[in-house]
Chains A and B, each alone.
Chain A
Amino acid sequence: MKKRMLAFGAIVAAGALALTGCSGSVSSGQSSAGGATSLDWAIWGNTPPEIASAEHIAGLVHASDPNLTVKVQTMSWPDYWTKLPTTLAGGNPPCLVSMQMGHVREFADSLLPLDNLLASASINVSDFDPGIMKALQVDGKQLAIPYDLGPIVLYYNKDMFKAAGVAEPQNGWTIDEFVADAKKLTSGSNYGFTMDNSIEPLMDWAPSITGSLPVTDDGKLAINTPEMVSVMSWYAGLVNKEKVAAPVIASPTSTASVAFLGGTAAMYANGPWEMINNKAQAKFNLGIVTLPAGPKGVTGPIEGSGFGISKKCSNPTAAIKALAVLTGPDALAYMGDIGRAFPARTAQQGSWYKNAVDGSKATLEAAMKNGIPFRATTYWTQDGLNYSQGVVSVINGNSSAADFLKGVQDQSQSK
């Protein structure tokens, strides 16, 4: 009896020891063994082409310094913004954090200001597009080095245009032309346009229609203005009045691209970063054109993203070196080449044009000429959530834009 108990106890103890051995790295976001350092890097985009692209440029870091390895952690776009606060608050946050300009204010407290570190890694600020550099600053402090930028453009299905006998759109076309074409393309179970319930479209169309954004310069929400109500009413009207887009649902993931890539919607608005997914998944001829222009002409917010270093990173020296390679000429030329990102480095932008669909250079240059920097509120994730919950009934024609926008403004903490 006693022997059996002893044997049993020994097995349990051995098991417990084995389990404690399972816990891996110790310090935050990086681990060292001998001279080798390994850094964790969080980035969104978990379609196979996107994961491959992240792994590739992480490999460039290792090639430049065999003692430095970057471990990629990817997740889908909406999940990223939910998971990031929890990850950063936890005990082992990643050293390298991908940051979109829309969310940089929200995470300002968790990111290390990079201004003093740039020289040590030979990062030259003037190599990058000034607009996106500024967009990744909060209160004058550079919180991330940009890797991509882009205006919102309109992707369209050339085959559907041809089948409906509609001439292809030209850069600089107007909203009236857009609605007229969309009506001709809407028949049977196909629609001319596709949209979903996210807050970005309001930002995309507002500058061209009214010349303003629903966010002030210092990050406060101003969505309840008459200008924004008119933009919202027009946008919702595409579904409930003109009937050129399918009614929307509330969804935790974006469903707008489903109709476009499935061939049941002829036009779809997004940025240059979608080129990689669109080219991979579209079974039709892909076209690109500027977003239809309202009374204020071709203008819109320039979005973009970069990589930053979390404040809790215990090896910022290694992190900034990795950052220099991840945003270096080779990495960004590669990203542009495969259509994953329109490079934030001015000299490398040609690579994206080379492999994008015909007409992309003209479209992007026209779209960016009068672009304005995107700005977001301090609680952008929550504002976006409040918006996306309630906008469904506005778009589907069941409630008024004015009441809805007032509700979003009242509920916001960013005012």
Chain B
Amino acid sequence: MALNVVEGTEKRDGRGRRIASKNRRRRGDGRTAAGFLAPSLGGFAIFTLGPIIASVVVAFTVWPTGGSPTAAGFSNFVRLFTNDPNFIQSLKNTLIFVFAYVPLNLVLSLALATWISPRIRGQNAYRVLLFIPVVTPMVANAAVWQLSLLPSGVIDGIWVSVFGVHAPNFLGSPTYAMAVVVLMSLWQGLGYNLMVFVSALEAVPESMLEAAAIDGASTVQQFFRIKVPMISPAIFFGATMTVITSFQVFVQPFVLTAGGPGNSTSTLVMYLYRSGFLFHNLGYASAIGVCLFLIILVVTGIVFLAQKRLVHYE
């Protein structure tokens, strides 16, 4: 490919014809490329890759905060899976959250996107309203939800005036607490996938839909047979991102319910935080982090495999 468009870097022979000078071209471009990539790669290496590798190393030690690390082989991992009911419970809770939140998020945001994607009146207003929860700080949102749902809070007050009895203790009962966490996360996270899907839906060519309509396809058939496959790359993107971030859920259960009642909403990252900073077991916390990393890797791998069958690229 002719990359030598920069002035003065072309080599010419005695007759003025260009000489291919592949080596020189590649080296020059290599250095330029490295120069431009250096800040980003450097930042990645220092702030992301380095700590990840360090974290994996720490996972094989026992390290109390304020003390020094001692090598411990696989003992942290063995203890996690054989002798730690709290870890198994956090794993269960995280999986419940993921399986409840991800499908609901994708379905609801796709439904909302379909509703607002044709040129309806106030489309931009709806987009803004639905996106506001995404950009407001998660901690502030969770704190407001907690104060509203407190047994002496706003929701309880309304419940008493409407029904005459106190509301159920949403945040204090093991069954409702996780549902509230999922609900709050949905309210917060819908906007993001919504924006992605709205853009994708608007990119579906009108001509294709019209052709289908002429052939006798109903709106529902148009949606599932044309729109969905056309936006499947966007759905794939949304699904991958949502799965990864939902495995890392921390703020919502921490602020809403502090992982309780008992440990019914304690998730993997919460347990990691507790082990590291409240129980002062840095090695153990790193081991939990490594397990989480592997779980997310496997699940994302599965999503990528599904991509081959379900996602249609142009």
Q: Which residues of A contact B (CB under 8 A)?
A: 1, 5, 8-9, 12, 82, 85-86, 88-89, 110, 188-189, 191, 194, 197, 246-252, 255, 258-259, 262, 264-265, 381-382, 385, 388-390, 392-393, 396, 398
User: What residues on B are CB-neighbors of A9 within 8 Å?
Assistant: 35
Q: In angstroms, how far is the closest chain A Cβ from the Cβ of B44? A: 16
A-B contact pairs, 19 of them (CB 8 A): A1-B9, A89-B65, A189-B152, A194-B152, A248-B151, A249-B169, A249-B257, A250-B171, A250-B259, A250-B260, A251-B146, A251-B258, A252-B255, A252-B258, A258-B153, A264-B152, A385-B274, A389-B259, A398-B173
Contact, CB under 8 Å: B278 / A381: yes
Contact, CB under 8 Å: B156 / A12: no
Contact, CB under 8 Å: B171 / A188: no
Cα A287 to Cα B157 in complex, Å, equals 25
Cα A248 to Cα B102 in complex, Å, equals 30
Q: In angstroms, how far is the closest chain A Cβ from the Cβ of B74? A: 24
Contact, CB under 8 Å: B156 / A189: yes
User: What residues on A are CB-neighbors of B150 within 8 Å?
Assistant: 246, 249, 255, 258-259
Cα A85 to Cα B300 in complex, Å, equals 36
Mark out the residues of chain B between 259 and 299 whose CB falls within 8 Å of any chain A CB in the assembled complex. 259-263, 274, 277-280
Q: In angstroms, how far is the closest chain A Cβ from the Cβ of B183? A: 15
Contact, CB under 8 Å: A189 / B66: no
Q: Which of A8, A82, A251, A382 contacts B257 (CB 8 A)?
A: A251
Cα A5 to Cα B30 in complex, Å, equals 12
User: What residues on B are CB-neighbors of A265 within 8 Å?
Assistant: 152
Total residues of chain B contacting the partner, CB 8 A = 41
- Indicate whether B53 reaches chain A with its CB closer than 8 angstroms: no
User: What residues on A are CB-neighbors of B172 within 8 Å?
Assistant: 247-250, 392, 396
- Indicate whether B220 reaches chain A with its CB closer than 8 angstroms: no
A88 nearest in chain B by CB position: B66
Q: Which residues of B contact A (CB under 8 A)?
A: 6, 9, 28, 31-32, 35, 38-39, 65-66, 146-147, 149-153, 156-157, 160-161, 166, 169, 171-174, 254-255, 257-263, 274, 277-280
Q: Which of B32, B38, B65, B262 contacts A85 (CB 8 A)?
A: B65
10 closest A-B pairs by CB: A250-B260, A89-B66, A246-B151, A249-B171, A259-B152, A392-B261, A247-B169, A249-B172, A246-B152, A189-B160
User: What residues on B are CB-neighbors of A259 within 8 Å?
Assistant: 150, 152
A194 nearest in chain B by CB position: B152
Q: In angstroms, how far is the closest chain A Cβ from the Cβ of B154? A: 10
Cα A191 to Cα B151 in complex, Å, equals 10
Assess A385 versus B278: contact at CB under 8 Å? Given A1-B9, A259-B152, A396-B169.
yes
Contact, CB under 8 Å: A252 / B254: yes
Q: In angstroms, how far is the closest chain A Cβ from the Cβ of B41? A: 13
| Most chain B C-beta atoms within 10 Å of own C-beta, residue among A82, A188, A246, A250 | A250
Q: In angstroms, how far is the closest chain B Cβ from the Cβ of A400? A: 13
Contact, CB under 8 Å: B38 / A12: yes
A246 nearest in chain B by CB position: B151
Cα A191 to Cα B160 in complex, Å, equals 13
Contact, CB under 8 Å: B152 / A262: yes
Q: Which of A8, A188, A393 contacts B261 (CB 8 A)?
A: A393
Contact, CB under 8 Å: B280 / A85: yes
User: What residues on A are CB-neighbors of B28 within 8 Å?
Assistant: 1
Cα A330 to Cα B151 in complex, Å, equals 43
A86-B277, A246-B166, A389-B258 given; 18 more Cβ-contact pairs under 8 Å: A1-B9, A9-B35, A12-B39, A110-B66, A246-B151, A246-B152, A249-B150, A250-B258, A251-B146, A255-B150, A258-B152, A265-B152, A388-B258, A389-B261, A389-B263, A392-B172, A392-B260, A392-B261
Q: In angstroms, how far is the closest chain B Cβ from the Cβ of A211? A: 31
B36 nearest in chain A by CB position: A8
Cα A255 to Cα B38 in complex, Å, equals 49
Q: In angstroms, how far is the closest chain B Cβ from the Cβ of A14? A: 13
User: What residues on B are CB-neighbors of A247 within 8 Å?
Assistant: 151, 169, 172
User: What residues on A are CB-neighbors of B6 within 8 Å?
Assistant: 1
User: What residues on B are CB-neighbors of A1 within 8 Å?
Assistant: 6, 9, 28, 32
Q: Which of A5, A251, A393 contacts B174 (CB 8 A)?
A: A393
Contact, CB under 8 Å: A85 / B66: yes
User: What residues on B are CB-neighbors of A8 within 8 Å?
Assistant: 35
Q: Which of B157, B254, B280 contacts A189 (CB 8 A)?
A: B157
Assess A389 versus B279: contact at CB under 8 Å? Given A5-B35, A249-B150, A255-B150.
no
Q: Which of B153, B171, B260 contacts A389 (CB 8 A)?
A: B260
Q: In angstroms, how far is the closest chain A Cβ from the Cβ of B138? A: 14
User: What residues on A are CB-neighbors of B65 within 8 Å?
Assistant: 85-86, 89
Cα A197 to Cα B65 in complex, Å, equals 27
Contact, CB under 8 Å: B262 / A389: yes
User: What residues on B are CB-neighbors of A191 within 8 Å?
Assistant: 152
User: What residues on B are CB-neighbors of A385 within 8 Å?
Assistant: 274, 278
Cα A83 to Cα B156 in complex, Å, equals 34
User: What residues on B are CB-neighbors of A398 within 8 Å?
Assistant: 173, 261
Cα A241 to Cα B229 in complex, Å, equals 58
User: What residues on A are CB-neighbors of B32 within 8 Å?
Assistant: 1, 5
Contact, CB under 8 Å: A250 / B151: no
B168 nearest in chain A by CB position: A247
User: What residues on A are CB-neighbors of B171 within 8 Å?
Assistant: 249-251
User: What residues on A are CB-neighbors of B263 within 8 Å?
Assistant: 389
Cα A389 to Cα B166 in complex, Å, equals 23
User: What residues on A are CB-neighbors of B38 within 8 Å?
Assistant: 12
Cα A86 to Cα B279 in complex, Å, equals 11
Cα A222 to Cα B278 in complex, Å, equals 21
User: What residues on B are CB-neighbors of A194 within 8 Å?
Assistant: 152
User: What residues on B are CB-neighbors of A85 within 8 Å?
Assistant: 65-66, 277, 280
Assess A393 versus B262: contact at CB under 8 Å? Given A85-B65, A85-B66, A249-B150.
yes
Q: In angstroms, how far is the closest chain A Cβ from the Cβ of B239? A: 31
| Most chain B C-beta atoms within 10 Å of own C-beta, residue among A191, A197, A252, A264 | A252
Cα A82 to Cα B276 in complex, Å, equals 10
Cα A388 to Cα B150 in complex, Å, equals 16
Cα A30 to Cα B171 in complex, Å, equals 44
Cα A396 to Cα B274 in complex, Å, equals 25
